[in-house]
Chains A and B, each alone.
Chain A
Amino acid sequence: MSHAYDLPLWAAVLTALLVLIGAGLTLAGAIGTLRFKSFYERVHAPTLGTSWGTGAMVLASIVFFSALGTRAMVHEVLIAIFITVTTPVTLMLLARAALYRDRTEGSGDVPTKSDVRRSARSDATRVRGGTD
């Protein structure tokens, strides 16, 4: 840690706080995946780590390297943008795959396709206020 001797105190404290927040949120998400009961609940938990867990860690890295002045420091924003864009894509694909698997096995409490269609149709009738 010899490079940190040139660091101003406010930057060190800010970096420390952000790093702790990021790691704590990630750990909370991980414990969430252990404690939730079904897959559809568990799919929410890791997003704690991928949203503000990653965000706080990236901010900490930006603050640290900018205050140190070794390099001009917005590279880390790339990581934040990339994780923010890709996580919903991955999780949505995964949830659809899980739904498909549950439906083809006929297992669990997932709504079938005809259930979904029927409820969509009744919603549409209610919105129109008609009787068709």
Chain B
Amino acid sequence: MTPAVLFWSLAAAQIMLVAAMGCYAYRVVRGPRAQDRVLCLDALYVCAMLLALTVGIRTGSGVYFEAALIIAILGFASSVALAKFLMRGEVIE
């Protein structure tokens, strides 16, 4: 009973997260302007991080937690760099 509850809820959550990533990917590809693309890229990496957490719960290993932490940190840096690029036209002045 216990593994079945976890298995199906994790499967549903992963499907929902992948659907969310699909929505964001659509905006990244079709987004009318550059700021829409950057915004949805930012949200896309958060979804990927949540997906890594669900995989960590599914496999029961702690490796995925570190992967999620690294994704969160690097995603923040890249989003700030892209936002700065939109503002100034260059990243490092």
Question: Is the A/B pair a real complex?
Answer: yes
Q: Could you list which residues of chain A lie within 8 angstroms of chain B, going by C-beta atoms? A: 1-5, 7-9, 12-13, 15-17, 19-20, 22-24, 26-27, 29-31, 33-34, 39, 42-43, 46, 49-50, 53-54, 57-58, 60-61, 64-65, 68, 70-71, 75-76, 78-79, 82-83, 86-87, 89-91, 93-94, 96-98, 100-101
Assess whether A71 is in contact with B72, with CB atoms less than 8 Å apart.
no
Give B residues with C-beta under 8 Å from A. Answer: 1-3, 5-10, 12-14, 16-17, 19-24, 26-27, 33-36, 38-40, 42-43, 46-47, 49-50, 53-54, 56-58, 60, 62, 65, 68-69, 72-73, 76, 79-80, 83-84, 86-87
A26 touches B47 (CB 8 A): yes
Besides A49-B43, A90-B80, 14 more A-B contacts (Cβ < 8 Å) are A17-B9, A19-B54, A26-B17, A31-B20, A33-B23, A34-B23, A61-B56, A68-B60, A83-B49, A93-B80, A97-B83, A97-B87, A100-B87, A101-B35
Nearest CB of B to A89, in Å: 7
Give the total number of A-B pairs whose CB atoms are below 8 A apart: 182
Please tell me if the beta carbons of B42 and A61 are within 8 angstroms of each other in the complex. no
Show 23 A/B contacts (Cβ-Cβ < 8 Å), sorted by A: A3-B60, A4-B6, A7-B2, A9-B5, A12-B2, A13-B5, A16-B10, A20-B9, A20-B16, A22-B13, A23-B54, A24-B16, A26-B46, A43-B39, A50-B43, A70-B60, A76-B53, A82-B69, A93-B83, A94-B39, A94-B42, A97-B35, A97-B86
